[in-house]
């Protein structure tokens, strides 16, 4: 080849290579990290570290920071319950003989989440519900005896307190902003294994499972596929920033072990419960006085609704907040204070954020016409006053014993449709009679009882006790009659 032609070919080869390289760099480019702006408002030295958990390289999410922040604020909860022993009672011994077993100790365990540096800890009510003693162990091995500040069976949340300072704790996130498919971490103590971290995504929101069998129950669970097992109850569900978005509570499984469906109480519900327990010792639960059901496609068609969403009023309680505001049967509630309501559980959640005495605007549809009315919220007693400790859901202290309303499962167990359960016995008439913990009382002075108020009313505010009937924990029926 001639030199001139050789030079031309070389130039063309260099130009071709440059074009090919340019095309390659345009097609295959190393992806830049996706940076998400932190809007949490956190002011702390390691704010930059929090942002690193939001950086995705090649589609991967870094969960290490969230895990490291969380494990130090999750505690191991250990409970101790004394069962089997009963107070000496000549009457019972005369009729039934000495059938009482010796007291025995039953231990339980679960998890808890530190939410303040001075030792406030959130856990599930079912973890500590029947406990005589509650101890917590921190991630560093330190142990404390915990005081039960308050319990709320209707949300399955309880608040503990330990005497300590400068503890690691989790900050509240926003459970309302969680999106389906978003990554979350669950941290707890399954099978007594401390500081266990599992990861998953948000599978669903607003789940109602019917597992909290209490009056005024509030169920709107966050569903995830993070692995939970026995002992995780009361643990933390956190987002990728390590902020608390839920309290892990339950699993749905045919075998009783993890099967891909786990559930947490949203922090939007928990936070208000905790604030009430700290301030009042009892949840100040607001109710509007309605029985609600899901909206059907036929309901939506009859009311010209574009979507099958909302909460249909099946029944209006006479004299309640909804009744006074003019709501009626078959009305469909679609929003509270401009927050959309797509299901009965969402209506419960929105109302649960307020206290008795608060006013909210409720938007509803009646016969295809949309209207908005103000509603004054009331408490379980039908007024706007402060509910005292022990009176939140039919509970209270009578004759030295703390009693609570029966759950549906307890009524099925004893085949009854009313009654109260003794959950704690202190000095008083009931202890003198041999009424112990877990006794079921169905009748007092010939009157059926369903809550503490019924017992007080039947005894003229604890001034007279002539007869009492019910069941011992082993199912044996008892009946006491006293001289007037």
Helix (H/G/I), strand (E/B), else coil: 392: coil
In SS3 terms, 430-453 reads as: HHHHCCCCCCEEEEECCEECCCHH
Residue owning tokens 């490291």: 68
Which sign does the torsion angle of CA 91, 97, 98, 104 carry?
negative
What is the pTM (predicted TM-score) of this model?
0.71
For residue 39, is pLDDT > 60? no
Which residue numbers are catalytic? 126, 156, 233
Range 384-412 average pLDDT = 75
Band the pLDDT of 18: cuts 50, 70, 90.
low
CA distance 237 to 222: 9
Range 286-314 average pLDDT = 93
Rounded (10°) CA dihedral 290, 293, 295, 299:
-70
Query: Which domains, ranges and CATH numbers included, belong to the chain?
Result: 30-62 (no CATH), 63-282 (2.40.10.120), 290-376 (2.30.42.10), 396-481 (2.30.42.10)
pLDDT at 260: 81
E strand intervals along 115-166 = 120-124, 133-137, 143-145, 147-152, 157-161
Band the pLDDT of 167: cuts 50, 70, 90.
very high
pLDDT at 425: 84
User: Which residues contact residue 203 at a Cβ distance below 8 angstroms, ignoring those fewer than 6 apart?
Assistant: 180, 223, 224, 225, 261
Judge contact between 335 and 363, C-beta under 8 A: yes
Q: What average pLDDT does the structure give for the chain?
A: 82
Band the pLDDT of 115: cuts 50, 70, 90.
very high
CA-based max dimension of the chain: 132
Band the pLDDT of 258: cuts 50, 70, 90.
confident
Band the pLDDT of 74: cuts 50, 70, 90.
very high
Band the pLDDT of 97: cuts 50, 70, 90.
low
User: Which residues contact residue 119 at a Cβ distance below 8 angstroms, ignoring those fewer than 6 apart?
Assistant: 144, 161, 162, 163, 164, 165, 167
CA distance 220 to 205: 7
User: Which residues contact residue 186 at a Cβ distance below 8 angstroms, ignoring those fewer than 6 apart?
Assistant: 197, 198, 199, 200, 224, 226, 227, 228, 232, 235, 236, 237, 248, 262, 264
The H or E element that residue 7 is part of is: helix 3-27
Helix, strand, coil percentages for the chain (3-state, nearest 5): 25, 30, 45
Strand partners, 204: 223
Band the pLDDT of 8: cuts 50, 70, 90.
low
DSSP letter at 32 equals: P
pLDDT at 481: 82
For residue 126, is pLDDT > 60? yes
DSSP for 259-315, written as a single string: -S-EEEEEHHHHHHHHHHHHHHSS----B--EEEEEPPHHHHHHTT-SSS-SEEEEE
Strand partners, 275: none
Phi, psi of 81 (to 5 degrees): -125, 130
Band the pLDDT of 10: cuts 50, 70, 90.
low
pLDDT tens-digit readout, 326-342? 999 999 999 999 999 99
CA distance 160 to 75: 11
Question: Beta 262-266 vs 244-251: how paired, if at all?
Answer: antiparallel
Band the pLDDT of 349: cuts 50, 70, 90.
confident
Which of 219, 152, 124 lies closest to 380 in space, CA to CA?
152
Band the pLDDT of 311: cuts 50, 70, 90.
very high
């Amino acid at each position: 080849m001639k030199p001139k032609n050789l030079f031309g070919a070389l130039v063309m080869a260099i130009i071709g290579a440059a074009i090919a390289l340019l095309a390659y760099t345009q097609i295959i480019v190393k992806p830049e990290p996706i940076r998400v702006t932190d809007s949490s408002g956190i002011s702390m030295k390691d704010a930059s570290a929090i942002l690193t958990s939001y950086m995705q390289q090649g589609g991967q999410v870094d969960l290490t920071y969230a895990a490291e922040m969380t494990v130090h604020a999750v505690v191991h909860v250990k409970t101790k319950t004394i069962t089997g022993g009963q107070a000496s009672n000549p009457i019972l011994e005369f009729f039934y003989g000495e059938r009482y077993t010796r007291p025995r100790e039953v231990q339980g365990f679960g998890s808890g989440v530190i939410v303040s540096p001075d030792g406030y800890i959130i856990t599930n009510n079912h973890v500590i519900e029947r406990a005589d003693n509650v101890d917590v162990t921190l991630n560093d091995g330190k142990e404390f005896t915990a005081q039960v500040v308050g319990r709320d069976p209707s949300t399955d949340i309880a608040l503990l307190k330990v005497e300590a300072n400068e503890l690691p704790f989790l900050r509240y996130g926003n459970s309302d902003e969680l999106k389906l498919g978003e990554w979350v971490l669950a941290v707890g103590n399954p099978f007594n294994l401390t500081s266990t971290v599992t990861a998953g995504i948000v599978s669903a929101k607003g789940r109602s499972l019917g597992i909290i069998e209490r009056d005024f129950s509030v169920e709107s669970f966050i569903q995830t596929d993070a692995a939970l097992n026995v002992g995780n109850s009361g643990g933390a569900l956190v987002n990728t920033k390590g902020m608390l978005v839920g309290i892990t509570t339950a699993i749905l499984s045919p075998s009783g072990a993890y099967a891909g469906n786990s559930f947490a109480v949203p922090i939007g519900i928990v936070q208000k419960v905790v604030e009430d327990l700290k301030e009042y010792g009892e949840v100040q639960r607001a109710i509007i006085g309605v029985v609600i059901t899901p909206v059907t496609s036929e309901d939506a068609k009859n009311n010209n609704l574009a979507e099958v969403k909302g909460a249909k009023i099946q029944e209006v309680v006479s004299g309640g907040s909804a009744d006074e505001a003019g709501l009626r049967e078959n009305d469909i509630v679609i929003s509270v204070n401009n927050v959309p309501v797509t299901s009965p559980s969402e209506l419960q959640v929105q109302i649960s954020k307020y206290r008795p005495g608060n006013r909210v605007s409720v938007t509803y549809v009646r016969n295809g016409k949309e209207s908005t009315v103000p509603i004054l919220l009331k408490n379980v007693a039908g007024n706007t006053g402060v509910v005292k400790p022990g009176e939140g859901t039919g509970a209270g202290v009578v004759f030295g014993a703390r009693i609570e309303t029966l759950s549906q499962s307890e009524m099925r167990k004893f085949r009854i449709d009313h009654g109260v359960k003794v959950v704690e016995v202190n000095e008083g008439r009931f202890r003198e009679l041999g009424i112990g913990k877990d006794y079921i009382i169905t009748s007092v002075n010939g009157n059926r009882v369903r809550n503490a108020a019924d017992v007080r009313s039947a005894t003229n505010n604890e001034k007279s006790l002539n007869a009492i009937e019910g069941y011992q924990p082993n199912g044996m029926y008892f009946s006491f009659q006293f001289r007037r």
